[in-house]
């Protein structure tokens, strides 16, 4: 919705009572299937071991770094690039095994604008297409909206079909392509933009919680209702 100023010009609607949120804390987030821990050098051996299940390195194609030839090379990158405040990295730890199986971060953290992005997603083969992956994304989105962010962004290489499908599955809305946005590994990257906003969060949250509930899975571990179906009110 928009308003009109004294000149008859349309302007954005006022936000009475809105105050900028705080920066996300460097603290753990816990769920049923996983927990997210602030990244630390101690996770290097487990993270590298989990990533090594991707034997040909195809999981790193659309990231600006990796694959890594050795654990030491991975450690050097993590210490150099992953311990700052923006991006703010977390390690995804599987509850059932206690293993570090992936990583994610907040980035482009802009409290004054009420916007924040999720990115630097690396889901090792141990967690892809799992409840762990979905719950990790739910936990990060929940924290952002509970802190008071108005806009939660997801950006990826426009050619990265799995990432785009994941964004849509998680309830992000497609907003367009930024052509020739950046250069990654010496290649052009057009960037696809997706976002969820705070007014959509109650419905998204309810769908995530219903999907993650153990009752949504049969004895073989197969889902009974998809996230998309749950956002529409059921299968």
Q: Could you give the CA distance from residue 118 to residue 81 in angstroms, rounded to a whole number?
A: 16
Which is higher by pLDDT, 122 or 130? 122
**Mean pLDDT, the chain, as a whole number?**
96
3-state secondary structure 108-172: EEECCCCEEEEEEEEECCCCCCCHHHHHHHHHHHHHHHHHCCCEEEEEEECCCHHHHHHHHHCCC
CATH number of the domain that residue 176 is part of: 3.40.630.30
- Domain-located, residue 12: no
Could you give the C-alpha distances from 197 to 141, 172, 210, in angstroms and in order?
10, 9, 20
Residue 13 maps to a domain: no
How many Å apart are CA 115 and CA 198, to the nearest integer?
10
Structure tokens at 35: 């927990």
Q: Annotate 193-223 with b (16+ C-beta within 10 A) or e (fewer).
A: bbbbbeebbeebbebbebbbeeebeeeeeee
Cβ pair 9, 119 in contact under 8 A:
no
CB 141 within 8 A of CB 104: no
Is 147 domain-assigned?
A: yes
Mean pLDDT of 47-70: 95
Query: What confidence score (pLDDT) does residue 129 get?
Result: 76
Q: What percent of the chain has pLDDT over 70?
A: 98
Residue 220 resides in a domain: yes
pLDDT higher than 70, residue 184: yes
pLDDT at 1: 64
Q: Is residue 204 part of a domain?
A: yes
Q: Is residue 109 part of a domain?
A: yes
Global pTM reads 0.94
The confidence score (pLDDT) of residue 105 equals 98
Residue 49 has pLDDT above 70, yes or no: yes
pLDDT in tens, 159-181: 999 999 999 999 999 999 999 99
Q: Which range marks the domain in which residue 82 is found? A: 26-231
Residue 155 lies in a domain: yes
Q: Total domain count for the chain?
A: 1
Q: What is the pLDDT of residue 5?
A: 92
Query: How large is the average pLDDT for residues 19-25?
Result: 98
Domain annotation covers residue 18: no
Tell the burial category of 60 from Cβ atoms under 10 Å away from its Cβ (0-12, 13-18, 19+): middle
Q: What confidence tier does 56 reach under pLDDT thresholds 50, 70, 90?
A: very high
Q: Are 171 and 135 in contact (CB under 8 A)?
A: no
pLDDT in tens, 214-235: 999 999 999 999 999 999 886 5
Q: Which residue has the tokens 């609607």?
A: 13
């Amino acid at each position: 919705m928009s308003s009109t100023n004294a000149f008859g010009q349309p302007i954005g609607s006022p936000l009475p009572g809105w105050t900028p949120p705080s920066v996300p804390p460097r603290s753990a987030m816990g769920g049923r299937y996983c927990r997210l821990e602030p990244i630390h050098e101690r996770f290097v051996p487990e993270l590298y071991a989990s990533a090594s299940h991707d034997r040909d390195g195809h999981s790193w194609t659309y990231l600006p770094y990796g694959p890594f030839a050795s654990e030491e090379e991975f450690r050097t990158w993590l210490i150099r690039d992953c311990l700052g405040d923006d991006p703010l990295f977390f390690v995804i730890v599987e509850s059932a095994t206690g293993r570090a199986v992936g990583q994610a971060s907040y980035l482009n953290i802009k409290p004054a604008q009420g916007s924040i992005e999720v990115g630097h997603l690396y889901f090792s083969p141990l967690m892809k297409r799992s409840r762990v992956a979905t719950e990790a994304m739910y936990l990060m989105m929940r924290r952002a909206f509970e802190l008071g962010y108005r806009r939660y962004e997801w950006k990826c290489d426009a050619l990265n079909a799995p990432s785009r499908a994941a964004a849509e599955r998680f309830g992000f809305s497609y907003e367009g392509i930024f052509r020739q946005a950046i250069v990654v590994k010496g290649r052009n990257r057009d960037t696809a933009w997706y976002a969820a906003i705070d007014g959509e969060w109650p419905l998204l949250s309810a769908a995530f919680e219903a999907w993650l509930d153990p009752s949504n899975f049969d004895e073989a571990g197969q889902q009974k209702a998809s996230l998309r179906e749950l956002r529409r009110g059921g299968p």
